[in-house]
Amino acid sequence: RKPTLALIGATGAVGTVMRDIISGRENVYGDIKLVASARSAGKVLRVRGEDLVVQELTPEVFEGVDIAIFDVPDEVSATWVPIAAERGAVVIDKSGTFRMNPEVPLVVPEVNPEAARERPLGIISTPNCTTLSMMAAMGALHEEYGLRELVVASYQAVSGAGVAGSARLYDEVEALAGDRTVGQTAGDVRKVLQNKLSGAESPFPAPVAFNVVPWAGSLKDGGWASEEIKLRNESRKILGIHDLKVSATCVRVPVITTHSLAVHATFEREITVADAHRILEAAPTVVVMDDPANGVFPTPADVVGTDPTYVGRIRQALDFPNTLDLFVCGDNLRKGAALNAAEIAELVAAEFG
Ligand code: 2RA
């Protein structure tokens, strides 16, 4: 039989992409339920060509649900994921709440699909979009060359902060456009935004239009941002390397969708650019765009709206043995969020045979 699927958080930024992805992939589900907060309940949304009425998140909504994909804030997942699991659904959770729980697998289907079967709590977590942007590529390289260290700088799109993040960048660009003197003196941009956007609150701690902001997430011990800690802990868990050395600096940039990462990766053995090309070109969900002499490398503008992980600028580090430097881009709403969850859901759906 085909399992019944529920999408919780169906109306958010990722939920919208999720409906699009489910509609475009093989139809492995029976019924689909769209679920959201009371505020969005009653809306009619399209999935698989059907108009469905969004249902309110209540315990009863999980009756008869086999697979539930949650894309809601951490605190909503903390309350509702166990309720869905108790009622018999296999839950695929996009939040950070359960990712590091040893009884919850953290799954990237290209890297550790087998982990999805061991889920004593009935919960499977899907990683943060920043980690996911590089996992397909790093997993493939690790399999052959044994990853030892990762030093990463991220260039994160504003849609990582949800609909409010994209809206803020568009509003800021509109407020600043047309005045070519803005940005020439410290404080200019803040002043114009304060006036033109009437002090509206931003999800970012600094202007993001015509700027870069070295901060993503919340403050953790030692001055680290939560996104940097997630990248470290999640990479270790997914790759199964508990002592992987990882250091990251996460930066928000004025891009709507698609996270990019500059990755400095050290392996157990010497790895050449040709080795990396061979491995990455053979990886089914990785696209290599690496011909700098002809201006070929991935940028968010090339990648947004597509599914693969794109890799370019592959170089053998000049002063670090066994080390590659490379640039990776991935759509943070697709592979970074909705697509990975959909792929995990398909692994679970296959169990219903
Ligand atoms: C961000 N990675 O880009 C986060 C979203 N989970 O803000």
The per-residue pLDDT for range 15-66, each reduced to its tens digit, is 999 999 999 999 999 999 999 999 999 999 999 999 999 999 999 999 999 9
**What is the pLDDT at residue 69?**
98
pTM: 0.95
Residue to mutate, 227, 259, 334, ligand 1, most ligand atoms under 8 Å from C-beta: 227
The per-residue pLDDT for range 65-116, each reduced to its tens digit, is 999 999 999 999 999 999 999 999 999 999 999 999 999 999 999 999 999 9
What is the position in ligand 1's atom list of the atom closest to the CA of 96? 6
What is the position in ligand 1's atom list of the atom closest to the CA of 129? 2
ipTM over 0.85 threshold = yes
Residue with tokens 């539930």: 68
The per-residue pLDDT for range 264-308, each reduced to its tens digit, is 999 999 999 999 999 999 999 999 999 999 999 999 999 999 999
Nearest CA owner, ligand 1 atom 7: 160
Per the rule left: phi > 0, alpha: psi between -120 and 50, beta: everything else, 208 is alpha
Ligand 1 pocket check for 95: Cβ under 6 Å: no
**According to the 3-state scheme, what is the secondary structure of 178-209?**
CCCCCCCCCCHHHHHHHHHCCCCCCCCCCCCC
Ligand 1: centre distance to CA 93 (Å): 15
Ligand-binding annotation for 252, yes or no, is yes
Ligand 1 pocket check for 260: Cβ under 6 Å: no
Distance (Å, whole) CA 248 – CA 293: 29
What is the DSSP track for 90-131? Answer: EEEE-SSSSTT-TTS-B--TTT-GGGGG--TTSEEE---HHH
CA 353-68-20 angle, 5° bins: 90
pLDDT over 90 (residue 239): yes
pLDDT over 90 (residue 199): no
**What is the pLDDT at residue 315?**
98
Closest CA to 89 of 288, 325, 282, 352: 352
pLDDT over 80 (residue 130): yes
Distance (Å, whole) CA 335 – CA 136: 10
Look up 329 and say whether it is catalytic.
no
Ligand-binding annotation for 156, yes or no, is yes
Ligand-binding annotation for 218, yes or no, is no
**What is the pLDDT at residue 353?**
77
pLDDT over 90 (residue 224): yes
Ligand 1 pocket check for 128: Cβ under 6 Å: yes
Q: How many helices (H) and strands (E) does the chain have?
A: 9, 14
264 has which bridge partners? Answer: 151, 325
Q: Which helix (H) or strand (E) segment is 318 a member of? A: none
Look up 242 and say whether it is catalytic.
no
Ligand-binding annotation for 37, yes or no, is no
- Kindly tell me the burial class for residue 311, based on how many C-beta atoms sit within 10 Å of its own C-beta (0-12, 13-18, 19 or more): buried
Distance (Å, whole) CA 226 – CA 245: 17
**What is the pLDDT at residue 137?**
98
Helix, strand, or coil (residue 315) = strand
Residue to mutate, 70, 93, 134, 156, ligand 1, most ligand atoms under 8 Å from C-beta: 156
**Length reported for the chain:** 353
Ligand 1 pocket check for 161: Cβ under 6 Å: yes
Alpha-carbon torsion, ordered 72, 75, 78, 80, to 10 deg:
-50
pLDDT over 90 (residue 13): no
For the chain, give the mean pLDDT: 97
Residue to mutate, 17, 70, 130, 256, ligand 1, most ligand atoms under 8 Å from C-beta: 130
What is the position in ligand 1's atom list of the atom closest to the CA of 217? 7
Active-site residue, from 142, 250, 259, 329: 259
Closest CA to 286 of 271, 294, 296, 276: 276
**What is the pLDDT at residue 183?**
85
How confident is residue 182, by pLDDT bands cut at 50, 70 and 90?
Answer: confident
What is the position in ligand 1's atom list of the atom closest to the CA of 216? 7
Ligand 1 pocket check for 255: Cβ under 6 Å: no
Taking the alpha carbons of 54, 57, 58, 64 in that order, is the dihedral positive or negative? positive
**How large is the average pLDDT for residues 321-348?**
97
